[in-house]
Amino acid sequence: MNNSIIFLLLSLVACSSVVYGVQYLHMEPYANSDCKGEIYGAGYALQIDLCFGINYQGGAFVNNFKVSLDDSGQNATVSQFKDTDTSCSTPNTNFDKVYNVGECYEAPGYGNSDDYEPTNFVLISIQNNPHSIPTYGYRSTTYGDSQCMSNPQFYIFYTNNTEFNIHSDDYSKWYCVDNQAYETFCEQGEGTESCFTNPSSSECTRNFLQWHEDNYIQESC
């Protein structure tokens, strides 16, 4: 076999865990309530027709989520299920949220911790077979496989230099330099400000907060 055939075979093996035909409910973040102008803040992508866990309130709680798209392809319904209901069989009552394609909503806060409550807005679209995810300031991605190679189930992202106000005066800023994500946290003292920066990227690791779901999580740009 010549080299190009070997390369092709290896590429097929490498790609075989990625299933095509997946769709995402994509929420593009905007600073303004008309979803025009500056792209800024927390955005989300949720795989459609799949049951997966999202933890919230800083990981204190987990719910399973499932997004379904109506026949028109214009209305996506996000339903929530108990943490133990890993096949998404019995929806929690009053937890359905409908998002219409092309419309603008307050950012939902899926997967955010209490400290990082988003204040931005999101524009709704449906993305087919996304092949590459752009570089953001930070991205936390959930996978169903231990190599984090399959199609993401869910991800939350912050655009570069997204800031969150914490306890009114303190703030936290998320950004990416040379493909490494960082968080700078700044605390206000008596007329002083002290800041420290930590890397926020991480390897693919089992998300033990989602015990029932057997999910893996990777943090990146």
Ligand X SMILES: *[C@@H]1O[C@H](CO)[C@@H](O)[C@H](O)[C@H]1NC(C)=O
Q: Is there binding between residue 201 and ligand X (CB under 6 A)?
A: no
Given the complex with ligand X, which of 79 and 215 has the nearer CB atom?
79
How many Å apart are CA 22 and CA 7, to the nearest integer? Answer: 26
Which string of x and - marks every residue 143-162 that binds ligand X (by CB under 6 A)?
A: -----------------xx-
Site residues (CB under 6 A) for ligand X, limited to 73-102: 74-75, 98, 100
Residue whose CB is less far from ligand X, 59 or 73: 73
The nearest distance, CB 155 to ligand X, in angstroms, is 17
Q: Residue 49 or residue 114: which is nearer to ligand X going by CB?
A: 49
Q: x-or-dash pattern for ligand X, window 41-80, by CB under 6 A?
A: -----------------------------x-x-xx-----
- Look up residue 4 and give its amino acid: S
Among positions 176, 181, 213, 217, the unique one binding ligand X when judged by CB under 6 A? 176
Q: Which lies closer to ligand X via its Cβ, residue 72 or residue 93?
A: 72
The interface region with ligand X, picked from 42-50, 108-116, 145-153, 172-180 by CB under 6 A, is 172-180
Q: Which C-beta is closer to ligand X: that of 154 or that of 174?
A: 174
Give the interface size with ligand X as a residue count (CB under 6 A). 12
For 190, residues 6+ apart whose C-beta sits below 8 A from its C-beta are: none
Distance separating alpha carbons of residues 105 and 122, to the nearest angstrom: 5
First-to-last alpha carbon distance for the chain, in angstroms, is: 38
Q: Which is nearer to ligand X, 56 or 105 (CB)?
A: 105
How far apart (Å, rounded) are the C-alpha atoms in residues 61 and 154? 16
Q: Which long-range contacts (CB under 8 A, 24 or more apart) does 18-23 make?
A: 18/149, 18/150, 18/151, 19/150, 19/151, 20/129, 21/129, 22/47, 22/48, 22/50, 22/129, 22/151, 23/47, 23/48, 23/49, 23/69, 23/126, 23/127, 23/128, 23/129
Smallest distance, ligand X to C-beta of residue 37, A: 18
**Least distance from ligand X to the Cβ atom of residue 139, Å:** 13
Q: Name, in order, each residue with C-beta under 8 angstroms of 218's C-beta and a sequence gap of 6 or more.
A: 140, 141, 143, 148, 202, 203, 204, 205
Among 138, 158, 175, 216, binds ligand X (CB under 6 A): 175
61-69 vs 51-56, strand pairing mode: antiparallel
Binding-site ranges for ligand X (CB under 6 A): 70, 72, 74-75, 98, 100, 135, 160-161, 175-177
